[in-house]
Amino acid sequence: MNSNLRMERNAEILRRHEENGVIIWGFGIFIDEDVEIGEGTEILPGCIIRGETKIGKNCIIGPYAVINDAKIGNDSTIGPFVNIRPKSELGKKVRIGNFVEIKATSMGDGSKASHLSYLGDAEIGEDVNIGCGAITVNYDGSKKHKTKVEDEAFIGCNVNLIAPVNVGKEAFVAAGSTITKDVPPKVLAISRKKEQKHIKDWKRP
């Protein structure tokens, strides 16, 4: 199919979604044939939605979100500049924000990862907060490993969760921690160097 035919077909798909109550904003939006989108959902400029993605009602998608073979529940907000890769499933009222990548990960209702995070091969419970810059370290060079974060846990900014690892219900992982062991429920986990070092008279090379 040449570019003109692809553009015409995409325009037909966008019109079909609009007729079904989806709100299409602006330019640069591409939606595959088999994508399902619920009534009242807004698709903002620059979004690419591919495969057999299913998006619920009253969501906000974008701008510039890329979603491929994923499921997103009602009343969720995805974007801007989000990449949701295949085998990901997000519940209701989930918030995925600026420059976040999700891969083969489930997130329960009300959970959020608002800034600059990577969640791969993870199972995230309900009402979990993933702080800015937090990542699941899922690949050891030969195999992928799973991270599990249970309901109402709080993952602070710049946390590394070295899979395989579990974080218990209502646990709190302090910012800047690298977690290599399971965290029990309802504890504060801190893994930092205890002493801050200052080097006097240091000059940039």
Q: Could you give all domains of the chain from N- to C-terminal order, each with its CATH number?
A: 1-94 (2.160.10.10), 104-192 (2.160.10.10)
For the stretch 28-35, contacts whose Cβ atoms lie closer than 8 Å and that sit 24 or more positions apart, written own/partner, are 33/9
Tens digits of per-residue pLDDT, 55-80? 999 999 999 999 999 999 999 999 99
Structure tokens at 23: 């709100």
Residues 158 and 132 sit within 8 Å (Cβ to Cβ): yes
For the stretch 8-15, contacts whose Cβ atoms lie closer than 8 Å and that sit 24 or more positions apart, written own/partner, are 9/33
Active-site amino acid positions = 115
Tens digits of per-residue pLDDT, 76-99? 999 999 999 999 999 999 999 999
- Residues 6 or more apart in contact with residue 97 via CB below 8 angstroms: 77, 79, 80, 82, 112, 113, 114, 115
Element (H, E) at 12: helix 3-19
**Each residue's pLDDT expressed in tens, for the chain with a length of 205 residues:** 677 888 899 999 999 999 999 999 988 999 999 999 999 999 999 999 999 999 999 999 999 999 999 999 999 999 999 999 999 999 999 999 999 999 999 999 999 999 999 999 999 999 999 999 999 999 999 999 999 999 999 999 999 999 999 999 999 999 999 999 999 999 999 998 777 776 788 887 7
